[in-house]
């Protein structure tokens, strides 16, 4: 899934057993400045060994080790000689696979628990308090550690809440050190990474940039590159990295597909003219995109149409340039995971992953492919990009087309664009813009009855969506103050023709997605 690392960086493999925690574990490892890669649970020992990992972490999972369809792992992982940490379900797999006892407790252990460390020397708990709060989420528990292991901590519901076999560098914890509800969890992970595994904290923002620059130069050589700028942080950071690597070999193209937010096209041209010292071509193709989308209501087809039209316009622009072979894409690590891999079912086609045509004439340059969103922002700041770019809320490549349920028309785009402007203004006015991952409006494919000026109206409802998140892999609906909701609703209904009702989406991800289509 990810590209080869050079010898400057150690790699930690996070084996995904189906829980949402795998992505969080991977991010916590990177926060400790060690590169992490999520791999599927059916990865073989040979495949894992070929990646030359410095350590392996087995994630949590939803199942019992005794279930008929329980996820398993090759016992050869325990004999690789690579330091290994099992977390929650991974902890139980480790115990079960090496001769310990895992059994069903009379009652599960969920939420906060008080952990007490044992008296024996421990690598993981060295320097940590003897008693601390941890976060549990399990029904089964390890009641007897395997031969060779020392029990290093327990809770009332977990006799073997942590165990270590220091001779073989095998470790297990029943709780979740990766979540914020385990206050000293990051310290424990660092103990495993630095002390048990000897991993070097070399994955820094500066080293990420240096690595990206080297890889771009190796891939591109002296050939020409084209980059699509959308105004979002992903394309901006990708462009800045490529420009740092190859300079004038890069031509940036801003294609206005007519699906942007209020005055965003003008903002993009002004901002990049000020912030980037590269050749920028501005193409207004809005009529072409809207015509291509006419009558199409299926969200996956919308994405495919936009992706294909986008790349065709790029090809036409590139035809007027000399010998352009490469296209820069702002693909992120979560895009790869969500678009469907061996270890993650396809949720939706991402514009940067599944939305491009098979016969595309460019080779992709994807300098952000290994990065989470927070890493991209940090790299952007390191590169000196302005705050209005680095901290702009994520905006999907297909733009407002996937925030309009049903047919995309010029009229409906103008309605949504006007409402979205009001949402952004009120969120900024309340000082909440940087606190929210995304805040936007969705135009439903229905109309509702209303009353305005003593007259009956029949107009669109607007769905307001605001979420908090760290990386978009999971998200929670934002608890916006009532007065903010009131101002947004009042302004939208009074100022935007075609909307007579505002509702607020209070769904989390999962089970919902952040976007509606």
Cis peptide before 511 (omega within 30 of 0): yes
Only one residue has tokens 């992903």, namely 234
Side-chain half-sphere of 108: how many Cα atoms within 13 Å?
11
Q: Is 214 a catalytic residue?
A: no
Task: Specify whether the backbone of 472 is left (phi greater than 0), alpha (psi in -120 to 50) or beta.
Answer: left
CA-to-CA separations, 493 to 81, 247, 412, 497, 501, in angstroms, rounded: 64, 48, 15, 8, 7
Task: Specify whether the backbone of 222 is left (phi greater than 0), alpha (psi in -120 to 50) or beta.
Answer: alpha
CA angle 420, 421, 427 (to 5 degrees): 85
Q: Are 193 and 169 in contact (CB under 8 A)?
A: no
- DSSP H or E stretch at residue 188: helix 185-190
Reduce the DSSP state of residue 443 to 3 states and report it: strand
Reduce the DSSP state of residue 399 to 3 states and report it: helix
Neighbouring C-beta atoms of residue 403, cutoff 10 Å: 24
The catalytically annotated residue of 88, 257, 264, 351 is 88
The catalytically annotated residue of 109, 178, 338, 375 is 178
Q: Are 1 and 444 in contact (CB under 8 A)?
A: no
- DSSP H or E stretch at residue 110: strand 101-117
The catalytically annotated residue of 91, 96, 138, 176 is 176
Q: Is 88 a catalytic residue?
A: yes
Q: Is 178 a catalytic residue?
A: yes
Q: Are 328 and 228 in contact (CB under 8 A)?
A: yes
Q: Whole-angstrom Cα distance, residue 43 to residue 260?
A: 41
Give the residue numbers marked as catalytic. Answer: 88, 176, 178
């Amino acid at each position: 899934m990810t590209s080869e690392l050079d010898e400057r960086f150690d790699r930690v493999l996070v084996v995904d057993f189906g829980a949402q925690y795998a992505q969080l574990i991977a991010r916590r490892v990177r926060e400790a400045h060690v590169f992490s890669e999520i791999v599927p649970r059916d990865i073989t020992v040979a495949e894992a060994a070929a990646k030359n990992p410095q350590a392996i972490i087995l994630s949590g999972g939803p199942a019992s080790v005794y279930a008929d369809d329980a996820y398993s792992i090759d016992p050869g992982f325990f004999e690789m000689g690579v330091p290994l940490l099992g977390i929650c379900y991974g902890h139980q797999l480790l115990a079960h696979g090496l001769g310990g006892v895992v059994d069903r407790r009379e009652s599960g252990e969920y939420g906060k628990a008080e952990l007490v460390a044992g008296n024996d020397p421990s690598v993981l708990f060295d320097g940590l308090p003897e008693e601390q709060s941890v976060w549990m989420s399990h029904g089964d528990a390890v009641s007897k550690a395997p031969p060779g292991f020392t029990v290093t901590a327990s809770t009332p519901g977990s006799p073997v809440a942590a165990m270590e076999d220091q001779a073989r560098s095998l470790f297990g914890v029943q709780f979740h050190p990766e979540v914020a509800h385990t206050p000293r969890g990051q310290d424990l992970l660092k103990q495993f990474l630095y002390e048990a595994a000897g991993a070097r904290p070399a994955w820094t923002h500066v080293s990420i940039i240096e690595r990206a620059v080297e890889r771009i130069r190796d891939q591109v050589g002296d050939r020409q590159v084209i980059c699509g700028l959308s105004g979002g942080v992903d394309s901006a950071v990708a462009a800045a990295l490529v420009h740092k690597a190859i300079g004038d070999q890069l031509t940036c193209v801003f294609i206005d597909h007519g699906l942007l937010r209020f005055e965003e096209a003008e903002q993009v041209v002004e901002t990049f003219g000020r912030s980037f010292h590269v050749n920028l071509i501005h193409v207004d193709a809005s009529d072409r995109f809207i015509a291509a989308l006419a009558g199409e209501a299926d969200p996956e087809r919308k994405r495919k149409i936009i992706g294909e039209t986008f790349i065709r316009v790029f090809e036409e622009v590139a035809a007027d340039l000399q010998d352009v072979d490469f296209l820069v894409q702002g693909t992120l690590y979560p895009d790869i995971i969500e678009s469907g891999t061996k270890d993650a079912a396809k949720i939706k086609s991402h514009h940067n992953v599944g939305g491009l045509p098979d016969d595309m004439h460019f080779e992709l340059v994807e300098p952000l492919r290994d990065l989470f969103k927070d890493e991209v922002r940090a790299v952007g700041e390191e590169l000196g990009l302005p705050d209005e770019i680095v901290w702009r809320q994520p905006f999907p490549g297909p733009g407002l087309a996937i925030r309009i349920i049903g047919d995309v028309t010029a009229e409906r785009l103008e309605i949504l664009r006007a409402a979205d402007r009001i949402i952004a203004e009120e969120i900024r006015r309340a000082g909440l813009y940087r606190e929210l991952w995304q805040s936007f409006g969705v135009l439903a494919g229905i109309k509702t009855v209303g009353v305005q000026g003593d007259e009956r109206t029949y107009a669109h409802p607007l769905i307001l969506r605001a979420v908090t998140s760290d990386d978009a892999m999971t998200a929670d609906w934002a608890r916006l103050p009532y007065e903010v909701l009131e101002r947004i609703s009042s302004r939208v209904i009074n100022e935007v023709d075609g909307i007579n009702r505002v509702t607020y989406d209070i769904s989390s991800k999962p089970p919902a997605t952040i976007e509606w289509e």
